[in-house]
Amino acid sequence: AQSPAGTEKSGGVTQEPFPETETASDSCRLFYPEDPIKIVRGQGQYLYDEQGAEYLDCVNNVAHVGHCHPLVVQAAHEQNQVLNTNSRYLHDNIVDYAQRLSETLPEKLCVFYFLNSGSEANDLALRLARQYTGHWDVVVLDHAYHGHLSSLIDISPYKFRDLDGQKEWVHVAPLPDTYRGLYREDHPNPAGAYASEVERVVNSVQEKGRKIAAFFAESLPSVGGQIIPPAGFFQEVAEHIHRAGGVFVADEIQVGFGRVGQHFWAFQLQGEDFVPDIVTMGKSIGNGHPVACVATTQAVARAFEATGVEYFNTFGGSPVSCAVGLAVLDVLEKEQLQAHAASVGSFLMELLRQQKAKHPIIGDVRGTGLFIGVDLIKDEATRTPATDEANYVVSRMKENYILLSTDGPGRNVLKFKPPMCFSVDNARHVVAKMDAILTNMEEKVRSCETLRLQP
């Protein structure tokens, strides 16, 4: 199947869209590459294909307040009709938006830069960290993904492991995965144990005479397998990083904006006393419009200004981007989606835990709010990722018009990060279908075993 984002015309002959015979830029991958879906419409938590079939979207965390939310669409349209220019002129929207965002954050994070994508945000965070500290090196968590830009592939083990390998200025600490990692649910203090691993990395960096600019981590590692770091981990890490002269960057691109239910920001799950030095935002904050943001402290911003080199982003902070961002915040508030995520998420977790009790393939159910992972395993003793089975579940779910996907280094963790309007009925429906698929899988395995037992 032809990949859309690397569409091509070759040899002067105009090809039909998505010809069967031509595989174009395979660098840009579709979901369900064997049998891709052509989606033509979206509304709330639903997507519709060209035949009008309705799919339940369990994975799109960009359409945060729901696909094509009318208030967000209207805000974009109203501003688009009036003015959409760069931030070289004064405009109220950018001030209002910075003000509204600041109300959700600890007081210390009071300077805002606006950009077009989470990747641009993480790249700026890297520049800010280096300028402020005068250091160069970065510590990241294993399996992390921080974006598609050159500088971010360098700090994303998920990417660089398959490419040029690890740069000498990048240092990888173990993922604080209490299900499959070094220290597990039976450890008395996994937060401390994982933080000591970071301390070890910091020490070894310093022994080499190198200097740490930043520790980057998603507040909840997503590509790493929907991981919930033990509370208190970030505080201890921040101590080690600060002692080395570095800053703590919390990447909230996939997980912020009320998704975790209990809090507006996922880093707040670590405890009231934790405040990152830099927070990066993207994806959800524009509900599909390219908007991103970096929030930081006055001290970091002042060091960046001191270079005398200006920062200019052509589209970042435009009146339209900010109008869209403001509308998303309005909808979150008006529809109380953070509280909704908390209650629907708890309900879904409870249903999934019942599934775990019923189906041995489910090794772990973890999550908070509408950020949930279902870790499929071969057997409980080894916790070996059930990769093929996870893929099979995803493709059977698709036949049932449910869009789900996997994450984690073993590609075996079913991930839930739906639009925030995902309902209790949606949760019941998804789990019922999953139950049927897993039950059917188990029956097939049993009949194969029966066959093997027969002479």
Residues 116-155 that bind a copy of itself (CB under 8 A): 116-120, 123-124, 126-127, 148-151, 153
Q: Is 12 helix (H, G, I), strand (E, B) or coil?
A: coil
315 burial (CB, 10 Å; 0-12 / 13-18 / 19+) is: middle
Beta carbon of residue 171, minimum distance to a copy of itself (angstroms, whole number): 18
Q: Which is nearer to a copy of itself, 38 or 208 (CB)?
A: 38
Contact stretch for a copy of itself (CB under 8 A) within 21-29, 271-279, 330-338, 368-376: 21-29
User: How distant, in Å, are the alpha carbons of 95, 116, 360 from that of 101?
Assistant: 10, 16, 43
The region of 83-91, 170-178, 423-431, 432-440 touching a copy of itself under the rule CB under 8 A is 83-91
Q: In the set 56, 58, 65, 98, which binds a copy of itself (CB under 8 A)?
A: 98
When binding is defined by CB under 8 A, the residue of 4, 174, 192, 245 that contacts a copy of itself is 4
Size of the site for a copy of itself (CB under 8 A): 104
Per-residue exposure over 103-118, b if at least 16 CB sit within 10 Å of its own CB, e if not: ebbbeebebbbbbbbb
**Which run of H or E residues covers position 293?**
strand 292-296
Interface pick for a copy of itself out of 28, 424, 445, 448 (rule CB under 8 A): 28
Q: Which is nearer to a copy of itself, 83 or 436 (CB)?
A: 83
Give the x/- contact pattern for a copy of itself in 187-206, rule: CB under 8 A: --------------------
Range in contact with a copy of itself (rule: CB under 8 A) among 113-121, 257-265, 334-342, 409-417: 113-121
- 174 forms part of the interface with a copy of itself (CB under 8 A): no
* Cα–Cα dist 234/222, whole Å: 16
Q: Quick check: helix, strand or coil at residue 231? A: coil
Contact assessment for residue 214 and residue 247, using Cβ atoms and an 8 Å cutoff: yes
**Positions 43 through 82 that interact with a copy of itself (CB under 8 A):** 47, 60, 62-63, 67-68, 70, 73, 76-77, 80-82
> Is 38 one of the binding residues for a copy of itself (CB under 8 A)?
yes
Residue 170 binds a copy of itself (CB under 8 A):
no
Range in contact with a copy of itself (rule: CB under 8 A) among 158-166, 183-191, 376-384, 420-428:
158-166
Cβ(290)–Cβ(259) under 8 Å? Answer: no
Angle at 203 between CA 200 and CA 205, to 5 degrees: 110
Single out the residue of 143, 171, 180, 283 in contact with a copy of itself (rule: CB under 8 A): 283
What track of x and - describes contact with a copy of itself for positions 287 through 326 (by CB under 8 A)? -xxx-------x--x--xx-xxxxxxxxxxxx-xx-----
Q: Terminal CA-to-CA distance of the chain, rounded, Å?
A: 44
- Phi-psi bin for 18: left (phi > 0), alpha (psi -120 to 50), beta? left
Is position 222 an interface residue for a copy of itself (rule: CB under 8 A)?
Answer: no
Question: Of 292, 296, 320, 267, whose CA–CA distance to 119 is shortest?
Answer: 292
42 binding a copy of itself? (CB under 8 A): yes
Nearer to a copy of itself, 73 or 182 (CB): 73
Query: Which CB atom, from 194 or from 257, has the smaller least distance to a copy of itself?
Result: 257
- Burial of residue 395 (number of CB atoms within 10 Å: 0-12, 13-18, 19+): middle
Residues 6+ apart with CB under 8 A from 250: 217, 218, 219, 234, 265, 266, 267, 276, 278, 279, 280
